[in-house]
A and B are shown apart, each in its own frame.
Chain A
Amino acid sequence: MKKILVLMIGLILFLHPLTSGGAKEAEHGKKAIRIAENVPGLITPGVWDGQAVALNSSIYEYLVEVDAQDNSLRPVLATDWSTDDGTVWTFHLREGVRFHDGSPFDAWDVKYTLERTQDPAVGHLKRADFAVIQRVDVVDDHTVVVTLKERRPTFVLQMTDYNMAILSRHYDYENMGERKPMGTGPFILSQMVPKENALLVRNPDYWDPQLPKVDRLEIYFISDLDAKVAMLEGGQVDVVPLISPVAAQRLASNPQISVIAAYQEQRFISMAVDRKPFDDNRVRLAFKYTMDPVILARNLAQMELGDGFYYSETPILNTLPEFYDLGLRGRDIGKAKALLAEAGYPSGVSVDLYYASDHPYGKELSQTIAELAAPAGFAINLKGFTRDVYLSQYWLKVGFSITGWGGRIDPAILLGLAFHSRGPWNEAHLVDPVIDSLIDRIAGEADEGTRLLYYAELQRRFHDEGALINIQVPKLVALHRRVRGYSHPLTMIVQYKYTDID
């Protein structure tokens, strides 16, 4: 009995902060959208890991946004923009916009945001892409001119990257960015319990008085994919922005819930060209001949090839106009074996495959390709790690890996990052002068027709000698039927300002 007493007293002492914590009853009569998101790691723009998109997308804004329907650019903080031949860019900025702390937004904030990419103390993820900037000039409070070192006809598209939110030059993002994110967006952070939840309220001074359509966003951070779906089914949340295909299948029979494929994400299976055995193109080809896109589609996404799932051997999304269709290679184990033998591996070859096991499709993809490649003599040892460990310890260092890549509206951004010999994220360690020169020509070419020709040539090269298999998987979002106007383009930045709820 004494023990119980002691425990009770201890409990009451410990529970004290519970009752005193800002307990507010849910306000009635206000429209709220409840969202079950991933648990974010770092969220400060510049080093944001792209998790928990609802949070950052609603608090911060960008110069431009992408229309989820037709992928066209729309003005946000920039009202219009122009360029000479892609070297000098002029942005006219919206007037009367205020940050959440009340300070006005002007050209100096844009200059600050762009120059921050090169600050070594920030460790900015877009540092390489924005190293092309030579100078940022503030013409007047609402006009800024960006001069580049080289011609970049699609430079404005770089401003859609999720780490390029426009920041206030007066705010201490280094110390406050993780605790109290602050921007010009349609919603203001009201309270946040780290790793658990965040409450966002409508920005009353938003520059578009029609928006946002709801009063509150309630965001829960939940790591378990399945728990999020259970919350949706149980009526605890309205939106789950990341669900697995198996869950989608189950939800299909639920009349209250709809599942949409917002856009396609990519998974790159990368074979380093400077490591055995993939230093020999015949081994890379042999591996490609073991793949069966139909089985991959069924196992990974429970769907058929084409509807939201695609397989190719080039990095370009097949939904973009830049994609050049070379057809499917087709599975041919005999040919794969012959190629392997020709390359000097008549009795097969053993290779370690590194991947992030907690990423959607991660386990399924790795296990399926290991199984598909086995009959040809590839003994694939799976090395799965949690995403952060994989990215920090193994990615870019190992010879064979699967990595998730978000969508980019301009494929040139991706090419420069991941396939140029000087790219910071060159997974396959490519040093191909043909590919390099094509990427350079694409980045600097103003004429769209010529650019498409370069793209076609590039993709043929990838098909014949490349070190990549590109699996396009649908980004599945589950919504309660009450939710209307959900808008989520392939830049990953979700636009809750247009979303309403009945």
Chain B
Amino acid sequence: MNTLIHHLKANRLVQFAVAILLFWLLAALIGPALVPFTYTAIDSEHSLSPPRTAGHLLGTDALGRDILSRIIHGSRSIFAVALFSSLLSTVVGVLLGFCAGYFSKAVDTLFLAAMDIIMAIPTLVLAMVVLGVLGGSTILSLTLIVSVAYVPATARVARSVLLGEKEKEYVKAARIRGESHLYIMFVEILPNTTAPIIVEATARFAYSIMTVASLGFLGVGLQPPNPDWGMMVIENKEIIAQAPWAVLYPALAIASLVIAISIISDFASKVLIHER
């Protein structure tokens, strides 16, 4: 932890990324209480208003809804889905990956085959087909499907780090002591493998934001009037000539969040893994 803070102090770019992430986190937590409008509030007097007119700091869309308020509200759903799906896929992935790597060769082979099969469908295609076929996506269904799609990758990382640790002395010692398998896996090995798992989880976090945004764009994400960022971009693409702000600000929101998380993920990987 100390080295982490030490490195953080030295790196301006990462400080900036952390600031952006904190900003969006705050926006998601308390933002909706602070913004001047609800995300559905219609101001028909001021539709397509440019930024900074009539209290609309980032302008309005074709229905006269406040872009800033919609973006801030939208940060909630995207954080919820991205955070929970990366957490869920990490937990499930670690469980599966550890079990596969720890037990017999047969379990491992079966596991690898199963993961290969899930990974054989590109994430976005899988999510699009499932959500499109089921219809009426919710935060829960989005979270679940994105998690399922990401479990194999996480599980493979977890498995390979476990394979690296399995033959080490402390594991052998624990076995000789007669500890249970679960104890060895999660009390002995897990604390020594947190670094790569954390790095993998942060990378998943960035990916899932992109996936959720793309699903919104394809029209199979959250349904209107939810202010989904991807959906805002595509809904307002039609008015890009009249009101570029209605497209550019949500796009900027997506980009800033993904860039910030990617920088942090890069930094974490550098500090936690390579310079250990």
A and B touch in the complex (CB under 8 A): yes
Are the CB atoms of A371 and B40 closer together than 8 Å?
yes
Are the CB atoms of A295 and B42 closer together than 8 Å?
yes
Enumerate chain A residues within 8 angstroms of B64, measured Cβ to Cβ.
Answer: 299
* CA of A389 to CA of B235, assembled, Å: 20
* CA of A370 to CA of B226, assembled, Å: 13
Enumerate chain A residues within 8 angstroms of B92, measured Cβ to Cβ.
Answer: none
Are the CB atoms of A299 and B135 closer together than 8 Å?
no
Nearest chain B residue, comparing its CB with the CB of A371: B42
Are the CB atoms of B40 and A383 closer together than 8 Å?
no
Q: Which residues of A from 49 to 68 have beta carbons under 8 Å from B?
A: none
Give the shortest distance, in Å, between B107 (CB) and chain A (any CB): 33
Q: Is A177 located at the chain interface by the 8 A CB criterion?
A: no
Q: Is A364 located at the chain interface by the 8 A CB criterion?
A: yes
Q: Is B36 located at the chain interface by the 8 A CB criterion?
A: no
Are the CB atoms of A295 and B44 closer together than 8 Å?
yes
Are the CB atoms of B238 and A367 closer together than 8 Å?
no
Choice from B41, B44, B225, B238 contacting A225 with Cβ under 8 Å: B238
Give the shortest distance, in Å, between A223 (CB) and chain B (any CB): 10
* CA of A361 to CA of B41, assembled, Å: 18
Are the CB atoms of B47 and A299 closer together than 8 Å?
yes
Enumerate chain B residues within 8 angstroms of A226, measured Cβ to Cβ.
Answer: 237-238
Are the CB atoms of B47 and A302 closer together than 8 Å?
yes
Once A and B bind, how many residue pairs between them come within 8 Å at the CB atom? 57
Are the CB atoms of B239 and A363 closer together than 8 Å?
no
Q: Is A31 located at the chain interface by the 8 A CB criterion?
A: no
Q: Is A385 located at the chain interface by the 8 A CB criterion?
A: yes
Give the shortest distance, in Å, between B76 (CB) and chain A (any CB): 18
Total interface residues on B, using CB and 8 Å?
20
Are the CB atoms of A367 and B136 closer together than 8 Å?
no
Mark A96-123 against chain B: 1 for CB-CB distance below 8 A, else 0. 0000000000000000000000000000
Enumerate chain A residues within 8 angstroms of B135, measured Cβ to Cβ.
Answer: 385-386, 389
Q: Is A39 located at the chain interface by the 8 A CB criterion?
A: no
Q: Is A384 located at the chain interface by the 8 A CB criterion?
A: yes
- The secondary-structure label for the interface of chain B is loop
Enumerate chain B residues within 8 angstroms of A366, measured Cβ to Cβ.
Answer: 224
Enumerate chain A residues within 8 angstroms of B62, measured Cβ to Cβ.
Answer: 246, 302, 364
Q: Is A335 located at the chain interface by the 8 A CB criterion?
A: no
Enumerate chain A residues within 8 angstroms of B235, measured Cβ to Cβ.
Answer: 363
Q: Is A501 located at the chain interface by the 8 A CB criterion?
A: no
Q: Is A357 located at the chain interface by the 8 A CB criterion?
A: yes
Q: Is B63 located at the chain interface by the 8 A CB criterion?
A: yes
Give the shortest distance, in Å, between A371 (CB) and chain B (any CB): 5
Are the CB atoms of B224 and A382 closer together than 8 Å?
yes
Are the CB atoms of A299 and B242 closer together than 8 Å?
no
Mark B232-252 against chain A: 1 for CB-CB distance below 8 A, else 0. 000101110110000000000
Nearest chain A residue, comparing its CB with the CB of B42: A371
Q: Which residues of B from 37 to 66 have beta carbons under 8 Å from A?
A: 40-42, 44, 47, 62-64
Q: Is A16 located at the chain interface by the 8 A CB criterion?
A: no
Enumerate chain B residues within 8 angstroms of A364, measured Cβ to Cβ.
Answer: 62-63
Are the CB atoms of A368 and B63 closer together than 8 Å?
yes
Q: Is A250 located at the chain interface by the 8 A CB criterion?
A: yes
Mark B14-42 against chain A: 1 for CB-CB distance below 8 A, else 0. 00000000000000000000000000111
Are the CB atoms of A246 and B223 closer together than 8 Å?
no
Tell me whether A367 and B223 are in contact in the complex, defined as CB-CB below 8 angstroms, given that A225-B238, A298-B47, A302-B47 are known contacts.
no
* CA of A386 to CA of B218, assembled, Å: 13
Q: Is A450 located at the chain interface by the 8 A CB criterion?
A: no
Tell me whether A246 and B224 are in contact in the complex, defined as CB-CB below 8 angstroms, given that A364-B62, A371-B42 are known contacts.
no
Give the shortest distance, in Å, between B220 (CB) and chain A (any CB): 10
Enumerate chain B residues within 8 angstroms of A386, measured Cβ to Cβ.
Answer: 135
Q: Which residues of A from 352 to 395 have beta carbons under 8 Å from B?
A: 357-358, 363-364, 366-368, 370-371, 382-386, 389
Choice from B44, B136, B239 contacting A298 with Cβ under 8 Å: B44
Give the shortest distance, in Å, between A268 (CB) and chain B (any CB): 20
* CA of A299 to CA of B44, assembled, Å: 6
Are the CB atoms of B44 and A246 closer together than 8 Å?
no
Choice from A244, A302, A357, A370 contacting B223 with Cβ under 8 Å: A357
Enumerate chain A residues within 8 angstroms of B47, measured Cβ to Cβ.
Answer: 298-299, 302
* CA of A462 to CA of B64, assembled, Å: 32
* CA of A366 to CA of B133, assembled, Å: 23
Are the CB atoms of B242 and A367 closer together than 8 Å?
no
Choice from B63, B223, B242 contacting A249 with Cβ under 8 Å: B242
Q: Is A192 located at the chain interface by the 8 A CB criterion?
A: no
Enumerate chain B residues within 8 angstroms of A358, measured Cβ to Cβ.
Answer: 219
* CA of A249 to CA of B47, assembled, Å: 12
Are the CB atoms of B225 and A367 closer together than 8 Å?
yes
* CA of A417 to CA of B244, assembled, Å: 44
Are the CB atoms of B40 and A385 closer together than 8 Å?
no
Are the CB atoms of A299 and B225 closer together than 8 Å?
no
Give the shortest distance, in Å, between B221 (CB) and chain A (any CB): 12
Are the CB atoms of A357 and B224 closer together than 8 Å?
yes
Q: Which residues of B from 57 to 87 have beta carbons under 8 Å from A?
A: 62-64
* CA of A298 to CA of B46, assembled, Å: 10
Q: Is A418 located at the chain interface by the 8 A CB criterion?
A: no
Q: Which residues of A from 259 to 312 have beta carbons under 8 Å from B?
A: 295, 298-299, 302
Q: Is A156 located at the chain interface by the 8 A CB criterion?
A: no
Are the CB atoms of B224 and A367 closer together than 8 Å?
yes
Enumerate chain A residues within 8 angstroms of B42, measured Cβ to Cβ.
Answer: 295, 299, 367-368, 371
Are the CB atoms of B41 and A371 closer together than 8 Å?
yes
Among A246, A249, A367, A382, chain B packs the most CB atoms within 10 A around the CB of: A246
9 A-B contacts (beta carbon < 8 Å)? A250-B239, A250-B242, A299-B44, A302-B47, A370-B40, A370-B225, A371-B40, A383-B223, A385-B135
Chain B residues packing against A (C-beta within 8 Å): 40-42, 44, 47, 62-64, 135-136, 219, 223-225, 235, 237-239, 241-242
4 further interface pairs, Cβ-Cβ under 8 Å (given A299-B42, A389-B135): A244-B238, A357-B223, A371-B41, A371-B42
Which 9 residue pairs of A and B lie closest in terms of their CB atoms, listed nearest first? A226-B238, A298-B44, A371-B42, A367-B225, A295-B44, A246-B62, A299-B44, A384-B223, A363-B224
